[in-house]
């Protein structure tokens, strides 16, 4: 079966994760899969640096300062309806309900399988969007 040609853009997958190792690992995984990424250690830094031009958000639920849920709400209140994937080491029914209320594509418990994150992003991001150019 011939592979379909993908239309590629530079809209990044935005990662907000306070753990350096986890943030770097997610960034490497997504870059290896062909995505453009922008990674931030806090919601505050992301808000100062990056507008709502992302293809998708990957947000840690528990961040120092503004939480992942609050960040997603601020972005939505500003008029950007971006797909979001929440990640958390503190998985519980309340967290899952909050993620569902926020319209999350997925809520993944750390440590999650690489395949889980890539599948969630594939559901969240139209084919080719967020991928690097071939140039």
Whether the model pTM is above 0.85: yes
60 located within any domain: yes
Residue 4: pLDDT band (50, 70, 90) is very low
Asked if residue 3 is part of any domain, the answer here is no
| CATH number, domain containing residue 69 | 3.40.50.2300
Residue 8 lies in a domain: no
- The total domain count for the chain is 1
Residue 33 placed within a domain = yes
Residue 48 DSSP label: H
Q: How many CB atoms lie within 10 A of CB 20?
A: 10
48-104 residue pLDDT tens? 887 558 999 999 999 999 999 999 999 999 888 899 999 999 889 999 999 999 999
Q: Is residue 21 part of a domain?
A: yes
Quick one: which of 89, 130, 95, 90 has its CA closest to 111?
A: 89
Residue 98 belongs to domain spanning: 13-124
Q: Confidence class of residue 122 from pLDDT cuts 50, 70 and 90?
A: very high
Has residue 5 been placed in a domain? no
pLDDT for 1: 38
> What is the rounded distance in angstroms from the CA atom of residue 95 to the CA atom of residue 67?
12
134 located within any domain: no
């Amino acid at each position: 079966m011939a592979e379909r040609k993908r239309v590629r853009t530079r809209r990044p997958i935005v990662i907000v994760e306070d753990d350096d190792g986890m943030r770097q690992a997610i960034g490497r995984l997504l870059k290896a899969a062909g995505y453009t990424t922008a990674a931030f250690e806090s919601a505050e830094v992301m808000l100062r640096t990056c507008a709502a031009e992302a293809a998708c958000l990957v947000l840690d639920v528990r961040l120092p300062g503004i939480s992942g849920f609050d960040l997603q709400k601020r972005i939505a209140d500003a008029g950007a309806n971006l797909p979001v994937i929440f990640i958390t080491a503190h998985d519980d029914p309340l967290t899952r309900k909050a993620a569902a209320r926020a319209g999350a594509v997925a809520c993944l418990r750390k440590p999650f399988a690489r395949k889980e994150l890539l599948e969630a992003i594939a559901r969240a991001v139209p084919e080719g969007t967020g991928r690097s150019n071939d140039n």
